[in-house]
Amino acid sequence: MTDTLEFDYIPLETEIPALVKHPNSRQLVMYAGASGDYNPIHYDRDVAAARGLPGIVVHGQLVSACLIQLLTDWLGDRGVIMKFAVSYKAMTFPGEPFTCRGIVARKSDAGDRQLTLTVWAENPRGDKTVTGTAVVRLFG
């Protein structure tokens, strides 16, 4: 969490501290149970291969949840997420870390203390696997 998270002192292009995640098979099982997404491409290598995939893949919505964690870690109790939307661009694989990143893209001039952020997850090769935007409102 940033010590100085005040609307007036956050310039455009401010980078949010990155969040690195290390997805593993256990997390995929736990996420499947919590979300009800039991698509076999997330746990069965043979099914994934039959569908032309190089291996099992991490749930896209699990990566999205990590992007939300990036935002809530940064905001702490100093703000709230108002809007969040993502697009899935490429697959994320268990055993391969990914990094969640974000930058301040726009500041509202309507007096509502809202920031629009560009967020994304990228694999170790720098490919953006999930991209999106978020609108947050700062308190105080």
The burial class, CB within 10 Å (0-12 / 13-18 / 19+), for 76 is exposed
Average pLDDT, the chain: 95
Q: Kindly report the pTM of this predicted structure.
A: 0.93
Q: Which residue has the tokens 């099992």?
A: 56
Q: Which residue has the tokens 């203390």?
A: 113
At 113-140, the pLDDT tens digits run 999 999 999 999 999 999 999 999 999 6
Would you state the pLDDT for residue 5?
A: 87
Q: Which amino acid, one-letter code, is at 94?
A: P
At 93-115, the pLDDT tens digits run 999 999 999 999 999 999 999 99
Would you state the pLDDT for residue 3?
A: 57
CATH number for 10-23+62-138 (one of 3.40.50.10470, 3.10.129.10, 3.90.1200.10, 3.40.50.300): it is 3.10.129.10
